[in-house]
Each structure stands twice: as structure tokens, then as C-alpha cells.
A = this chain, B = another copy of it.
Amino acid sequence: MECKKTAPIGVFDSGVGGLTVVREMIRQLPEENIVYFGDTARVPYGSKSQKTIIRFSEQIIRFLKTKQVKAIVIACNTASALALDAVRDEFDVPVMGVVIPGARAAVEATLNQKVGVVGTEATVQSGMYTKIIHEMNPQIQVIEKACPLFVPLVEEGFKEHVVTQEVIEYYLESLRDTDIDAMILGCTHYPLLRSRIKRYLGDKIQIVNPAYETAMDLKAVLEKQQMAHDGVSGRKSQYEFYVSDAAEKFRRFANTVMPFDVPETNVVNIEGY
């Protein structure tokens, strides 16, 4: 099993958002090698249908399998919500998403049994966060809200613009006026708006970032299955990045998110997998 322990973990997302999950994995699992795929030719997923998102996810998992990954993390909330059930049993490596870890963190965080969820249109329409939370605790009231403009605002570098503040108010006013005390950032782009969202919602609402819990869960799975990388003193973990389009633009964005210089990024014709 030695080769399995040193094998990389595959992570994928519709584009750059999943890097917030990679960042958390590097923090919590510094010994692990990672192969990342961002589907920049077909981004965004949040407005697309379940059937299409399952097909895209299957293609990407087949690509990641060629990299001999020992486990796969679907870092995209939309793909986790819509495709995880379909792909989990199709492949012979553990596949995990971000929705279950995110839901569990919210269930643990809420004191008054009221949780908010923000995400893409597809994630919210799937109702997957509500379903998973209710499986954990049927008493919890869940209010989901789609915020489709958050992704383009982040991707276009509008994080600090006044327009972003107004869009935050537009989407979140109705949530702020409820008595939720925990809110899941149900899209990997949203942690990049975290401080502004936090400031708007105030201290009474705890913000849950599923990336943190996902990395914890992954660690537990690897340890349980005796697949965790043992680590070798002085060795540097390896990170590889692949995209389906616009590698240079991806690399520029990645460099603003990652704690190190992102190496050369390779373009993959993902439709061929």
C-alpha cells in the first residue's frame, strides 16, 4: 500500500473557486500531494443542469484517475450537491464533496436551530444543503438563498467595489432579518467575500466555510483507511494544476489565493475524457 500513501489527492472545481479548498487542505494536510483541475472552459456550473454537471464531473474524475490519485475532493458546491451521489459509486477511489462537511459544521454551530445557506442557483435549487441538514437534525430550519452575481463579481476583481457591497445587501437583507445564527458559504467563491459578508451580517451570525470542515473530513478518511502520507523530513509536497482553458489567467488568479507561487498550469482537453 506504500504507493497509495504517497499518491496525490485529486481536487476539482468549475474554475478557480476550489482553490479556497486547496488552501485549507494545504494548511491541514501539509504532507499531501495535490492535483487540481479547474474547468475554466465550461465555468460556471451554477446555472447549468444536473445532467450536464454529472457528465462534466465524470470526465474530470476520469482525467484525475490518470494521475493515480488516491482520493478525490469535489471542491465545487454545485457539483457536490448535484453529482456526488451519481459519481461516488462509479469510481474505485473515495470521492467526497463539500456539502456534507459544510452542513455538519452548521448543524454544530447553530444554537437556535436556524441556519442560512447561500450558493449558486443550481445548488440552491437542488435543495441539497437542506436535505443533508435535515438528515442530521430534522428540527433545524434552513433558509437557502441563491446569489448568482457573487461569482462574476469575484472573478472580475470587484471584491472591493461599492457595487459588491450593494449586491451583498440586495441578496442578504432578507437573511439578516431572520434569526438564523449560522450561515453556510455554499459556493467556493464566497469565502473570498467573507469579510464583507461578515461585516454586513454582524456578530450574531456565525459564518461557516465548508472548506475547513472538508479538509478535516479528508484527513479523517485518509487516516481511517491508512492512506495518509507519512511525510519525509525536508521533503516538499507537490502541487500540480490543470485547467480546461486560459491557463495564464488561472495562474494569475491562483497566485492571489494561494500561499505560494503557482507553477506552470497545463491545459487539458477535458471533453476527450
A: residues with CB less than 8 A from B are: 40-43, 47-49, 51-52, 148-149, 151-153, 155-156, 158, 161-163, 166-167, 170, 244-246, 249, 271
How distant is the Cα of A271 from the Cα of B55 in the complex, in angstroms? 11
Which B residues are CB-close (under 8 A) to A51? 245
Give A264 Cβ to nearest chain B Cβ, in Å: 16
Cβ–Cβ contact A161 & B152, under 8 A: no
Give A214 Cβ to nearest chain B Cβ, in Å: 27
Closest 8 CB pairs of A and B: A152-B152, A52-B245, A271-B271, A49-B246, A148-B156, A42-B42, A41-B52, A48-B245
Taking a contact as CB atoms closer than 8 A, the residue among B52, B148, B155, B246 that contacts A48 in the complex is B246
Which B residues are CB-close (under 8 A) to A149? 149, 152-153, 156, 158, 163
How distant is the Cα of A235 from the Cα of B271 in the complex, in angstroms? 42
Residue of B nearest to A247 (CB): B49
Cβ–Cβ contact A155 & B47, under 8 A: yes
